[in-house]
Structure 1
């Protein structure tokens, strides 16, 4: 069994431990938390287009949003995802975090690769930490949604819906789409980590390589995209006289291949038809056309030879070594402070940039709208049901209110960069992280619900952030949402991860030539028969109720 499948089984086994059944509803019935507009900050540019991030032409002079430590002493246990090695035992940043929060944070840090397995194991064990990172997305820890419906976590709707969220003013700044898409069956079970809607499928491109190919702008159609991607392999863009560069480092369907799916108009996971039925992306002619295109790229050498097996860390190592022309990671406010020196990149502001995929025959592609969240922080049911349950829940939400402080605030600057003079220094008003690896490692436990990714701040010329914002305003109308976001299908929870793994494995087999493109017909039938049709039916039922 895969880790995700083991997780689903473990959660099913623990259903008797999680408490009484929880109330079920629909997102149409949910009163979303009230939304507060951000207070004006010098350098802040607010877009009039819904869903477009606020831009900053300068790093704000840090301002305080929380005047007193939100905690009441004692210990708060956490379960958090991390993308870096464990922090050192002697950790000045963690000591300062405890002081600021008024509690001792005792974290359990889990790598992305282990998230699904360890999420299931901890929940099944019953001893759930006070603040628990839940990510119910397929490919993360989808079985966690089942634990929510079985009553493992506190229903936070009464604490956060409507004007109740005003008790936590930083959380009231979160975009409404984040709260909506984090809800489960019309209830709020966690504080989301917000992300921009325009993020899925917008990878980072080596613009300096693009210029070396003689291209003066983004590819205008499928032919120009092909010329660019194959040119990154065949035209020695790094100028070292060796054929040791590639365009892409991964063959996962929904990662570096996403811009190509966008280019051919493949649906965002599902397509909602006019009659209310759903069509899976792999069932469409557009997916078949995109697959044929990707096969041609593979044959032309655009992919790294180990693209079928490269882990995320291996992909980023190739990117950081200057061997790959396109990274699946978006160039956003979170990534920018950690951009390492990349061979050949003299100025990241001009040599790196987003790839804007074209339509296959010109124009703008149909871009995938993200869910607008990357997980959420939930509070276990045992806390809410304790003798001082409500007081403890409010204390934990106050701590999350601190952790969710807006970009540029004193709190957010500390959470992102650490202790000034130790983890970072201010250079011309801009935080610059220390080059000392041990000091940088102290921040391994910083991944909370901070909304840093929902703004545009690109250090460099003051106009860069506004230019990116204006680009986003043009692209947002071309985005398509996944119609099943925040809907729950029991079969998707139990079978989705295995089905997705089978799809990815079959896709890799087709691209690398082990099977012909015509094998897609058999693949579609297998997917439908092994649970896909059941998942479709359950999502359609949920959609019908939510209208």
Structure 2
């Protein structure tokens, strides 16, 4: 598995940072983790928490106003709020923690890391952060690509570290509804007004806490939280559009986009109009054709899976028509993810779909290295057909959470929560600089108004402490790519106006294991149909088999959850 953060937001190391993770949202798939419900809604085990209970359990939200953004957030629909934008780091960073939070304790940690693991011994970055925290956190990054395989043995042997990060997509293999009892119930410490003791944690938006609730208790500390998490965007090469006189703002629908195929395709030059615009399991097609990412309730009150919607049929027919017309790059037709970004940078594809984390200064740097005129831009939200309003499904506010070991004493729990409050200091603060860059003059310097890693820092600094808890997402800029930040902010500010949430938004749902593989045949068929290798009938046949092999029973399972644990109608009536 590649770094899931690349699908959702970019790394702190890049010049534009959308702190908070895309791929993560796609990897979790929008379902929560309500474990232990049978198909009739009866409770067979732990894990269940209703939306009403969640709202009572999560911490109160107290926004930090000590740091002012250059471009403020925009409030949209369904609780979506765009990330604030900082064009440079504040010249006078705010201090959000009055004194050293720790009392000298030593604790073990475990977090994933997608990238080179820095040395633990003699790491001045680790030393600088631990000094500021007043504790010794023994940072132990583990290969993110194999992280899911490393977790079960730790649970089985009861050898969990003091503080561990567990991505939402790994909880299903851990029977987490029961296993979560190995961690600290944070409800007595953080629920409601209790969060006031930890102002930086209180600054984390409410939507980011809900998937950290299990069995009616709060367990998880949010990692990369945001109130505007979307499963990607449709990007185009603005420089190529400008050269060919194409006005991107005139592209409103899928058919408008298709009409560009011939103009943007030159097989002699090795240029194709499109990459894969459908995505894995329809990840990007859901946005374009307005259907949901998993289950939702239609206008009649029936639960409908995305495989059963008219939208996915329309998306398949449309994408297959692009392929049959010769507008899609052969590598994308073959399902080759490798070098996809290079194809976009070099102009071998002009329009592509990707996570919003792909849009950053690092991308601009790589793109302009391949072509000095390179400019990535995203279409404003498109609709499947004329007269249809655009929409975009809001993903969970956090897809990864960190947990404290239940073997810790009350004093140790309070010490680590004080440390978490420091680590969660917002962008623009003194504490954020320490947590993310270490000591100035050693692992980073200020360059053009923004922190930049030194040669030493590039070897020692990695995303580690940030995987224990993270402040709310922001968009930042550095290395001269100011326009990239402004463009991304403008796109997100527009997108939040069309946000929608499915019926089970913010709820943790662990499906019974007997249904774990019934969708694979449909996914495989999708990959063939979307590129024209198989007809639409192959997909409808696969869906019929899916329903017979457990899909209809799975619907009953979700109906039981809806009837017992969901209060109020779906926020998105209609399939």
Structure 1 position 288, deviation (Å): 0.8
Aligned residue runs from structure 1 range 240-255, under 5 A: 242-243=269-270, 247-248=274-275, 252-254=279-281
Residues paired across the two proteins, number: 510
CA deviation string 1:386-440 (max 9, x = no partner): xxx2222222222222221111212223333444334433223222344x49725
Higher mean C-alpha displacement, 189-198 vs 144-153: 144-153
Distance 1:322 1:68, change over 3 A: farther
The answer to whether residue 376 in structure 2 is matched with residue 352 in structure 1 is yes
| Map of 1:525 onto structure 2 | 544
Structure 1 position 192, deviation (Å): 0.9
**Contact 1:88–1:442 (CA under 8 A) maintained in structure 2:** no
| Map of 2:243 onto structure 1 | 212
Distance 2:357 2:173 in 1: 30
| Map of 2:313 onto structure 1 | 288
**Contact 1:27–1:185 (CA under 8 A) maintained in structure 2:** no
| Map of 2:189 onto structure 1 | 159
Structure 1 position 42, deviation (Å): 4.2
Higher mean C-alpha displacement, 364-373 vs 267-276: 267-276
**Contact 1:33–1:161 (CA under 8 A) maintained in structure 2:** yes
| Map of 2:125 onto structure 1 | 93
Report the 3-state secondary structure (helix = DSSP H, G, I; strand = E; otherwise coil) of the residue aligned with 1:211.
helix
Higher mean C-alpha displacement, 158-167 vs 461-470: 461-470
Q: Which residue of 401, 420, 433 maps to 1:376?
A: 401
**Contact 1:320–1:341 (CA under 8 A) maintained in structure 2:** yes
Distance 1:391 1:46 in 2: 38
Aligned residue runs from structure 1 range 267-346, under 5 A: 267-299=292-324, 300-305=326-331, 309-310=335-336, 314-316=339-341, 318=343, 323-325=348-350, 326=352, 328-331=354-357, 335-336=360-361, 340-342=365-367, 343-344=369-370, 346=372
Structure 1 position 280, deviation (Å): 0.5
The answer to whether residue 163 in structure 2 is matched with residue 136 in structure 1 is no
**Contact 2:529–2:538 (CA under 8 A) maintained in structure 1:** yes
Aligned residue runs from structure 1 range 68-467, under 5 A: 68-89=99-120, 90-137=122-169, 140-144=170-174, 146-148=176-178, 151-193=181-223, 194-218=225-249, 219-228=251-260, 234-235=265-266, 242-243=269-270, 247-248=274-275, 252-254=279-281, 258-299=283-324, 300-305=326-331, 309-310=335-336, 314-316=339-341, 318=343, 323-325=348-350, 326=352, 328-331=354-357, 335-336=360-361, 340-342=365-367, 343-344=369-370, 346=372, 351-362=375-386, 364-383=389-408, 389-434=409-454, 436=455, 439-440=458-459, 442-448=461-467, 451=470, 454-458=473-477
**Contact 2:233–2:353 (CA under 8 A) maintained in structure 1:** no
Distance 1:426 1:364, change over 3 A: farther
Distance 1:332 1:338, change over 3 A: closer
**Contact 1:93–1:442 (CA under 8 A) maintained in structure 2:** yes
Structure 1 position 203, deviation (Å): 5.0
**Contact 2:130–2:136 (CA under 8 A) maintained in structure 1:** yes
The answer to whether residue 518 in structure 2 is matched with residue 503 in structure 1 is no
Report the 3-state secondary structure (helix = DSSP H, G, I; strand = E; otherwise coil) of the residue aligned with 2:461.
helix
Distance 1:488 1:319, change over 3 A: same
**Contact 1:264–1:360 (CA under 8 A) maintained in structure 2:** yes
| Map of 1:480 onto structure 2 | 500
The RMSD of aligned alpha carbons is 3.5
- Structure number with greater CO (CA < 8 Å, separation at least 6) is 2
Report the 3-state secondary structure (helix = DSSP H, G, I; strand = E; otherwise coil) of the residue aligned with 1:443.
coil
Higher mean C-alpha displacement, 174-183 vs 45-54: 45-54
| Map of 1:386 onto structure 2 | none
- TM-score after normalising by structure 1: 0.81
**Contact 2:401–2:469 (CA under 8 A) maintained in structure 1:** no
Distance 1:307 1:118 in 2: 34
**Contact 2:113–2:463 (CA under 8 A) maintained in structure 1:** yes
Structure 1 position 227, deviation (Å): 4.1
CA deviation string 1:141-168 (max 9, x = no partner): 4334635566232221121111111111
Distance 1:279 1:22, change over 3 A: closer
Distance 1:44 1:153 in 2: 39
- TM-score after normalising by structure 2: 0.77
Structure 1 position 264, deviation (Å): 1.6
Distance 1:66 1:54 in 2: 22
CA deviation string 1:259-313 (max 9, x = no partner): 43322221232221345431000111111110111222333242452565545x6
Distance 1:228 1:85 in 2: 41
Report the 3-state secondary structure (helix = DSSP H, G, I; strand = E; otherwise coil) of the residue aligned with 2:168.
coil
Report the 3-state secondary structure (helix = DSSP H, G, I; strand = E; otherwise coil) of the residue aligned with 1:373.
coil
Higher mean C-alpha displacement, 35-44 vs 519-528: 35-44
Distance 1:519 1:22 in 2: 39
Structure 1 position 367, deviation (Å): 0.9
| Map of 2:30 onto structure 1 | none
Report the 3-state secondary structure (helix = DSSP H, G, I; strand = E; otherwise coil) of the residue aligned with 1:396.
helix
Report the 3-state secondary structure (helix = DSSP H, G, I; strand = E; otherwise coil) of the residue aligned with 1:134.
strand
Structure 1 position 45, deviation (Å): 4.6
CA deviation string 1:305-335 (max 9, x = no partner): 2565545x654555566655435131489x5
Q: Which runs of 5+ in 2 are unaligned?
A: 1-26, 28-34, 37-44, 568-575
**Contact 1:136–1:375 (CA under 8 A) maintained in structure 2:** yes
Higher mean C-alpha displacement, 317-326 vs 298-307: 317-326
Distance 1:96 1:75, change over 3 A: same
Report the 3-state secondary structure (helix = DSSP H, G, I; strand = E; otherwise coil) of the residue aligned with 2:399.
strand
**Contact 1:87–1:445 (CA under 8 A) maintained in structure 2:** no
Q: Which runs of 5+ in 1 are unaligned?
A: 5-10, 13-20, 384-388
Distance 2:153 2:322 in 1: 41
**Contact 1:70–1:402 (CA under 8 A) maintained in structure 2:** yes
